[in-house]
C-alpha cells in the first residue's frame, strides 16, 4: 500500500460518546483528546471524531472516539457508528433530570445496535454546577448498579474525572480482552494478540485485519 499504516499502538479501541443533546459530549471529547473546553461550542451535526493514544497496563492503546449528535432524530445516522464499538461513554447532565431519565433509552439503543459485550461507563457531567443539581449521586449509583454500568460524575469544564472515566473504560476493555485472549489460547505460548490489531470484544476471531472497524 502506498500510504503508511499507523503501527504506533498495541491496541485500537473504538469508543462511542452518546447521550441527550446538550449534556456536554463534545466538550468531554475535546477535553480528553486536546485538553480544550469551549463555552461557545456549536451543537454537533451528525458525528465527530477524535483519537488519543495512552498507556494502559503498560500497553499503548489508541482510543478512537466517535462523538454523536444527541437529538433523537439523528439516531438514523448515528446508530451505524455503534457497530464495532467496544466501549461507550453514556453521558447525562446532572442538572437536567430528563437527560438522566433517558439513560435507559440510550441503553436500549446500545443493545439494539452495539456488541452485547460493550463496556459502558455512565458519566454524570457538569458536576461543577452542583448548586443546580437535579440528579443525586445516589440515584445514579443505584441505576448504574442495577444496569451493570460503571459510573462517575465528571466535569469537562473543570477537567474533573474525564481522564479517569476514559481510563476506566479502556482498562475494563483491556482486561476483558486479556481474559479472552488467555482463554482462547490456554495451551499456546506468546503474547497472543498481534500488534496493531483492532479488538472486538465480542468476537476476536473476526479481527485479524488492522483496519479500524467503523464502516457502516
Partner 1 sequence: MDRSRGINDYEPGPVPSESRVDRYGFIKQNVSNSSAAEGLGKSREARRVRKWRKMIGVGGSDWKHYVRRKPHVVKRRIRKGIPDCLRGLVWQLISGSRDLLLMNPGVYEQLVIYETSASELDIIRDISRTFPTHVFFQQRHGPGQRSLYNVLKAYSVFDRAVGYVQGMGFLAGLLLLYMSEEDAFWLLVALLKGAVHAPMEGLYQVGLPLVQQYLFQFEHLVREHLPKLGEHFSREMINPSMYASQWFITVFSYSFPFPLALRIWDVFLFEGVKIVFKVGLALLKYCHDDLINLSFEKLIHALRNFPEDAMNPDILLPMAYSIKVSRSLGESKIEYEKQNRKPKIEA
Could you give the C-alpha distances from 60 to 52, 87, 174, in angstroms and in order?
A: 10, 17, 11
46 binds partner 1 (CB under 8 A): yes
Are the C-beta atoms of 14 and 214 separated by less than 8 Å?
yes
d(CA 36, CA 34): 5
Between helices 162-184 and 25-34, what is the axis angle to 10°? 80
Provide, rounded to whole angstroms, the least separation between the CB of residue 45 and partner 1.
5
Only one residue has cell 438514523, namely 76
- Residue placing its CB nearer to partner 1 in the complex, 73 or 131: 73
Q: Write out the three cell numbers for 49.
A: 471524531
Q: Does residue 195 bind partner 1 (CB under 8 A)?
A: no
Q: Cell 476483558 identifies what position? A: 176
Residue 205 C-alpha cell reads as 476471531
Cell numbers for 171: 482498562
Hey, which residues between 120 and 179 contact partner 1 (CB under 8 A)? none
Residues 72-111 that bind partner 1 (CB under 8 A): 73-74, 76-77, 80
**Terminal Cα-to-Cα distance of the chain (whole angstroms):** 23
Nearest distance, CB of residue 180 and partner 1, angstroms: 24
Q: Say whether residue 34 binds partner 1 (CB under 8 A).
A: no
> Toward partner 1, which CB reaches closer, 22 or 192?
22
Choose the stretch contacting partner 1; rule: CB under 8 A; options: 106-114, 124-132, 197-205, 207-215: 207-215
Which of the ranges 43-51, 105-113, 125-133, 134-142 carries the binding residues for partner 1, by CB under 8 A? 43-51
**Binding test (CB under 8 A) with partner 1, winner from 9, 10, 14, 21:** 21
Can you tell me which of 65, 69, 143, 169 binds partner 1, judged by CB under 8 A?
A: 69
Residue with cell 482486561: 175
From the CB of residue 11, how many other CB atoms can be counted at a distance below 10 Å?
Answer: 22
Among 40, 148, 188, 191, binds partner 1 (CB under 8 A): 40
Chain Cα centroid distance, residue 55: 16
- Name the residues that contact partner 1, by CB under 8 A: 2-6, 21-22, 39-47, 49, 51, 64, 69, 71, 73-74, 76-77, 80, 211-212, 214-216
Amino acid at each position: 500500500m502506498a500510504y503508511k499504516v499507523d503501527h504506533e499502538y498495541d491496541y485500537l479501541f473504538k469508543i462511542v460518546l452518546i447521550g441527550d443533546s446538550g449534556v456536554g459530549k463534545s466538550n468531554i471529547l475535546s477535553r480528553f483528546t486536546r485538553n480544550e473546553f469551549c463555552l461557545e461550542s456549536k451543537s454537533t451535526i451528525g458525528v465527530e471524531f477524535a483519537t488519543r493514544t495512552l498507556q494502559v497496563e503498560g500497553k499503548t492503546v489508541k482510543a478512537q472516539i466517535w462523538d454523536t449528535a444527541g437529538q433523537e432524530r439523528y439516531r438514523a445516522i448515528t446508530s451505524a457508528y455503534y457497530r464495532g464499538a467496544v466501549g461507550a461513554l453514556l453521558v447525562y447532565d446532572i442538572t437536567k433530570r430528563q437527560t438522566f431519565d433517558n439513560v435507559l433509552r440510550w441503553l436500549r439503543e446500545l443493545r439494539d445496535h452495539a456488541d452485547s459485550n460493550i463496556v459502558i461507563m455512565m458519566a454524570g457531567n457538569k458536576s461543577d454546577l452542583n448548586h443546580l443539581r437535579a440528579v443525586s449521586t445516589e440515584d445514579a449509583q443505584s441505576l448504574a448498579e442495577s444496569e451493570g454500568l460503571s459510573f462517575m460524575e465528571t466535569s469537562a469544564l473543570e477537567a474533573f474525572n474525564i481522564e479517569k472515566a476514559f481510563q476506566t473504560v479502556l482498562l475494563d476493555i483491556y482486561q476483558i480482552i486479556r481474559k479472552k485472549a488467555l482463554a482462547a489460547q490456554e495451551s499456546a505460548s506468546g503474547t497472543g494478540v498481534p500488534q496493531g490489531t483492532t479488538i472486538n470484544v465480542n468476537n476476536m476471531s473476526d479481527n485479524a485485519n488492522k483496519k479500524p472497524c467503523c464502516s457502516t
